[in-house]
Amino acid sequence: MADLSTSYMELKLRNPLVVASCSLTNSVEGVQRCADAGAGAVVLKSLFEEQIEADTKELERHVWVAGHTEAYDYVRKIGIETNAQDYLNLLEKAKQAVAVPVIASLNCITPGWWTDYAKKIEAAGADAIELNVAVLPSDPRHSGRDIEQLYYRIVGDVKKNVKIPIAVKIGPYFTSMGNVASELSDKGAAALVLFNRFYQVDINIDKLNLVPGYRFSTPEEINFSLRWISLLSGRVKCDLAATTGVHDASGVIKQVLAGAATVQVCSTLYIHGIGHIANMLSNIEAWMKKHHFESVSEFRGRLSQKDSDRPELYERLQYIKALVGIE
């Protein structure tokens, strides 16, 4: 039997396949189904700062608090706590229901706000926290450095308040990804989750309105995170988790070869069902057997840039015939 076990943020996982934060992990039954299908760990659906803000504003509409700072603060606190409590209940029940690590997910867009939650999440038994930090840098007054500092402050604030490991899930839109990754690791991230695939916007040209874009990734989308996992592997202190575009066993294997400690899947489970996890795991085992690997650690990072004798291959950006054979 091949040994698929892996270590992620010092948590021991039976295999590197992790169910990403999404609606499949928004209920105890969903979490249980993922664990029963063989997932190595589960990331709960994010608790969203904006959702809590919206729910709290709705609550404020029903209570007259204008001009009363104290009353306003009180109503706000209740709104926040009610929402957080539902999430903590889910976390506690999920922890009781499954033996695999359960990672809570907080969506953060402003610093400070999350520190109390993070403590509560730790107390409720989460094995780790994934910070889903997503700031759309649309305000022309904010420089790249301002935005990066915001990310660092959020991670630093949460890190100060909890002992459980913190993973930081980010999108791909940074000017200096290598520097950002290394700073996040220095600020206390035990892992980086690369890269979130955000909600997309599309336009309906008949109705002349905005509509949601296609929800799911395609296998072709794997290449961006594959490149960055392979570039950063062994170069940042923290672990790396891959997300976006992993749809089958070959996607998981590629990301582990590039250096990922874990590989998160989401779209493929919506498309093929949660049972697809077992299918992917048995295909990974078959590949390991074919290549005479007995454990995942034997091939993790084998194709990272750091261990390559052709490091320049990882950095090619242009279609130049002399370099890549394509123009």
For ligand FMN, the binding residues (CB under 6 A) are 20-23, 45-46, 105, 132, 169, 196-197, 215-217, 243-246, 265-268
CB nearer ligand FMN, residue 13 or residue 75: 13
CB nearer ligand FMN, residue 75 or residue 88: 88
Nearest to 124 by CA among 157, 84, 76: 84
DSSP per-residue letters across 173-206:
--TTHHHHHHHHHHTT-SEEEE------EEEETT
CB nearer ligand FMN, residue 224 or residue 299: 224
CB nearer ligand FMN, residue 75 or residue 247: 247
Q: Which residue has the tokens 């294997």?
A: 253
Question: Which helix H or strand E contains 43, and what residues bound it?
Answer: strand 41-43
CB nearer ligand FMN, residue 49 or residue 293: 49
Helix ranges (DSSP H) in 168-305: 177-186, 222-232, 249-258, 267-272, 276-290
Question: Which helix H or strand E contains 117, and what residues bound it?
Answer: helix 115-123
- Which one-letter amino acid corresponds to residue 214? Y
- 35 neighbors 71 (Cβ within 8 angstroms): no
